[in-house]
Structure formats: structure tokens, C-alpha cells
């Protein structure tokens, strides 16, 4: 069973979903793929420790304190391929960006493959179920364009500016 709570962020309301122990999802209101695999009839419960920890993490993030995701436990739904991409996203440092192509090269190396499709990696990035915390907003196009963010390019730009990234490449 999944439970939900909400968090009021500078970007608007965020939906946080948990199985009671782990963080399973975090979406901006109206985001593409918004809680798509978890259903929308979840009971609300703000008392779980994971919700409290997630909200503290978000408070720190929105106060530019660069919180560490190691304090959060995840239970993410997705293919093994997507989960590998999401793990790599977690390695992108605060305030830095990487291209889809660079991310694909890292994944290929990790999986002992010669090459990896940047488009396939982009699809996995786009289905990241834990926005902001798993930093898919730090992935940009090959020419420095802010492409492909399920929360909208304007939100991606705001998150990167918030982290001090010069988005005028």
C-alpha cells in the first residue's frame, strides 16, 4: 500500500509518496507521469518517518544547504535499466550538469557495453519518479539546451538557477 503527503515548495505543491518505509515518488503538481504507476487513491498520512525526513531534505535543499540523499531510503518502480540510470543521476553533484550523451557513456561503461543510446537514457531520465531529490534536472542536451524535463523546462531552469548553474551556455 502507498501513502501520500504534500509539501509546499517555492515551485508549488509537491506530492510525496511512500510505502510507509521508503520514498517511492515525488512529483510537482501537474508533472508528466505524475504518480502514474501508483494510482491516485492513496490515503494521506504525514506521520511516517520517511515523510518527515524527506520534508527536512526539501527544506534544506530550498534553503541552499545541499542535503545528502544518503539519509533517504528509496523503493522505486521501474526496469533494471531505468534504475541504473537513476543511480547515475544521484551521482551528479549539486550545481553541476551532464549531457544525455555523457550519461549514456557512463552507463555503457558501468554495464560493460561499447555504446548506449542517449535517447534510451533520456527516456529513463524522463521517467524518474523522485523529482528534485534524484536530480534529473541536471541533465542537459548536447548543445547545452535545457531539454526534456517532465516538470517543464521553466521548472528545470529554475532548479538549475537555484543551484547556481549558469543556464546561458
From the number of C-beta atoms within 10 Å of its C-beta (0-12, 13-18, 19+), residue 71 rates as exposed
Q: Is 53 helix (H, G, I), strand (E, B) or coil?
A: helix
Catalytic choice (136, 146, 160, 165): 136
CA 97 to chain centre: 14
Nearest residue to 148 via CA among 137, 158, 159:
137
- Told to judge if 136 belongs to the known catalytic residues of this protein, a careful annotator would answer yes
**Is 42 in contact with 19 (CB distance < 8 Å)?**
no
CA 99 to chain centre: 15
Q: What positions carry a catalytic annotation?
A: 136
Amino acid at each position: 500500500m502507498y501513502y501520500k503527503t504534500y509539501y509546499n515548495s517555492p515551485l508549488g505543491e509537491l506530492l510525496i509518496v511512500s510505502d510507509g518505509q521508503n520514498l517511492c515518488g515525488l512529483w510537482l503538481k501537474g508533472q508528466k507521469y505524475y504518480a502514474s504507476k501508483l494510482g491516485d487513491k492513496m490515503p494521506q498520512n504525514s506521520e511516517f518517518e520517511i515523510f518527515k525526513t524527506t520534508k527536512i531534505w526539501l527544506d534544506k535543499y530550498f534553503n541552499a544547504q545541499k542535503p545528502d540523499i544518503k539519509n533517504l531510503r528509496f523503493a522505486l518502480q521501474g526496469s533494471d535499466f531505468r534504475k541504473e540510470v537513476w543511480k547515475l543521476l544521484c551521482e551528479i553533484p549539486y550545481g553541476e550538469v551532464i549531457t544525455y550523451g555523457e550519461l549514456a557513456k557512463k552507463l555503457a561503461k558501468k554495464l560493460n557495453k561499447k555504446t548506449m543510446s542517449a535517447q534510451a537514457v533520456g527516456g529513463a531520465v524522463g521517467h524518474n519518479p523522485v523529482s528534485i531529490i534524484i536530480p534529473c534536472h541536471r541533465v542537459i542536451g548536447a548543445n547545452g539546451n535545457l531539454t526534456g524535463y517532465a516538470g517543464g523546462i521553466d521548472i528545470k531552469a529554475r532548479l538549475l538557477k537555484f543551484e547556481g548553474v549558469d543556464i546561458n551556455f
